[in-house]
Every structure is written in C-alpha cells, then in structure tokens.
Amino acid sequence: MNTPAPSPWRPPRLSLRFVPVWQRNFLVWRKLALPSVLGNLADPVIYLFGLGFGIGMLVPDVGGMPYITFLAAGMVCYSTMNSASFEVLYSGFSRMHVQKTWDAILNAPVELDDVVFAELVWAASKALLSGAAILLVVVAFGFAEARYALWVLPLIFLAGLSFAALGLVMTALAPSYDFFMYYFTLFVTPMTLLSGVFFPLEQLPPALRLATDLLPLTHAVLIARPLLLGEVPHAVAAHLAVLAAYGIGAFWLALALLRRRLLK
C-alpha cells in the first residue's frame, strides 16, 4: 500500500539546523561585505539628502517638523524593505535555481524547511545591517532623537522578516530573474509611495487611506517615525501584530510553494 505524499501545506518543521545554512550565507557575504553595505546604504542616503534638502526647501514643515526629519524614518524602513527583498529575490533565486546550492545542502541531513527558514533569517539579518547603517546616518546628522533610536533596531529585524517572507513567495513562483520586475513594479513601488514614506498618509483620499492600512510598510513607518522623534508610537502592538502576521503567513505560503516546486 502506497503511503500518500505529505501535504505541502503542512506546518513548518523548524530546527536549529538552519543555523549552519545561515552561517554559510554569512561566510559568502563576508567576502564582499563592504561593497554590499555601501551599496545598500547609498540609495536611501541619496533619497534622504536629495529629497530632504531639495523638496525640503520648497515645502513648509511637515507635521510640525522639517521635511528631512519626516523623511528620515521612511528611509530607514525603505532601506530595510529593499535589502530584505533583494536578498531573497535575486540572491535567494540564484542559490535555489541557478547555482543549485539548495540541492547541494539538501544532500546533508537538513530539511527544506530549515533551508528556507535560514534564507528568511539571513535576509532579515542583512536588512538589519542596512537599516542600522541608515539609522546611524540619520542620528549622526541630528535628524532623529538618539534616546529612542535603539528601539528601532528590533523593528527593523521584524520588518525584514516580513518583507523577506513576501519576497520568498515570489522566489517560489519565479521562472527567471525577469519575473521579479512585476513584483517591484506592481507591489513594492506603489507600496513605497503610499505608505507614508514621502508624505503624510492624511493627504491620501479616504478610500485609498483604508487600503494603505493593509500594507506592511505603513505599519513599519508608523512605529519608526514616532520613535525617531523621541515619542512612543500609538497602537504599537497592533502594528507589530500586522508585521508578524505578514511574516508568518507569507513564510508558510512560500514554504508550501517551494515544497511543491522542489520536492516532487
């Protein structure tokens, strides 16, 4: 009697075996650590100073603060999202599909669940480095209150997990690198423009404002901005719950899709 194949939608089975896979990714990255950090830092810093001083000279204070101060929190979250997304999409797809690194790892006593979870945690770790770097710039130039800035670091890691999990779903579905342009064009870019990174959410029409409440970047910004202003965020538990829900739900979905793709 044939035993039925286990469902790809079964709950994740995680263990500490993900740690060596994480370490493997770290050791590879360490060879190019400096260019990687500088590359992740350059884009948000250019936005911060270019838009902050450029548009900031043309508009009055936003929410009672200089525009560059308003923009600072958005750039921290934007940097986190970009770093986590690029890692699981382009680098993760390379390891899974092009280089066949995952196939090699799975010849060891490691489950696919551990490999995928290692990719998730590694992407969040890189996002933490990227977000912390822009946070350091923001604090060093006096665009944020230093006393609450350290509380942004756990937020960066959680947001990194959420965006990495969403990116893993795309990696599981992607036939090639070109597929990722749809994700950035149809999801990441609109979310960046509508999540309070560049302008207050209150400026949006009411119907669109309701839609922004569903975006994970919105909740990251709503926590980060008050903290960088030296204030306690409102409804912080609800915002954290949304980010956690995205991370858990998207990871489970990505794992199920990868099981169907790789464990045939």
What torsion do the CA atoms of 215, 221, 223, 228 make, to the nearest 10 degrees?
A: 180
40 within some domain: yes
pLDDT tens digits, 50-104: 888 888 777 878 878 888 899 999 999 999 999 999 999 999 999 999 999 999 9
13 within some domain: no
4 within some domain: no
pLDDT of 222 > 80? The answer is: yes
2 within some domain: no
8-22 burial string, b = 16+ CB within 10 Å, else e? eeeebeeeebbeebb
* Structural domains counted in the chain: 1
190 within some domain: yes
Structure tokens at 62: 């936003």
Q: pLDDT band for 2, please (50, 70, 90 cuts).
A: low
A 10 A CB-CB count for 224 gives: 30
Mean pLDDT of 136-164: 91
Q: Note whether 118 and 18 are within 8 A (CB).
A: yes
Q: What is the mean pLDDT of the chain?
A: 91
Structure tokens at 115: 């490999």
Question: 130: domain range?
Answer: 18-262
Return d(Cα 127, Cα 215) in angstroms, integer: 18
Which segments of the chain does DSSP mark as H helices, in order?
A: 18-30, 33-54, 67-86, 92-93, 101-105, 112-140, 152-173, 180-183, 189-194, 206-212, 216-228, 236-262
